[in-house]
Amino acid sequence: MKNDSVKKVVATGIGAALFFVLARFVAIPSGIPNTNITFQYAIQAVFAVLYGPVVGCLSGFIGHVLTDMSWGGVWWSWAFATAVYGLVVGLFANKINVKDGYFAKKEIITFVLANLLANALAWLVIAPVGDIVIYKEPVDLVFTQGLVAGAGDFLFAVVLGGLLLFGYSKTVAKTGSLDKE
C-alpha cells in the first residue's frame, strides 16, 4: 500500500496546485462582496472521487489557504468549509465506480447528491457560521455569500466535474470487460 500512499500525496499536491491556479486566476465575480464563482471546486470534487476523502479535504484546504495568502490573509472559516466540502464528496467515492470505468446514471446521481450535501454543509453552515463567530460578520451578508457561492460552486462542480469524471471513465477498461482467449 506504500505506492497508494505516494499516489495520494502526489494527488494532494497536484490538486492543491490546480485549486490555487483556478481560484486565483479564473474567477467570475458574483456581484456579492468578496464572493466569486469559480471552477476549482469541480477539480476538488474530481480529486475527491478519484482519491478519496483525505485527498479531497487536504487538496482543497491547502489550495484555499494558498489562494487566500496570495490575496493577503487567510479567511479560515471558508478554508475549513472547503476542507469539509472535499471530505464529504470524498466519502462518496466508493459509491461512484469511476475507477472501474463507470459513470452512468447511478454514479451521476450519487455525484450530484454528494455535491449537494457537501455544498450545503460547507457554504450554508460552516462558512457563514464561522464568519459570524470568528470575524463578527453581519448575518445577512454571510448567508447571502454562502448561498451565492454554494449555488455557483455546485453548478460548476456537478457540470464540469461530472464531464471530467465521465471523460475519465471512458479511459478505463470496465471491470470484467476482458475475455480470456
- Say what the pTM is: 0.93
Q: What is the pLDDT of residue 38?
A: 87
- CATH numbers and ranges of domains, the chain: 2-169 (1.10.1760.20)
pLDDT tens digits, 79-94:
999 999 999 999 999 9
pLDDT tens digits, 18-29:
999 999 999 888
Distance CA 156, CA 122 (A): 15
The residue-averaged pLDDT of 112-118 equals 98
What is the pLDDT of the chain when averaged over all its residues?
A: 94
Distance CA 8, CA 86 (A): 14
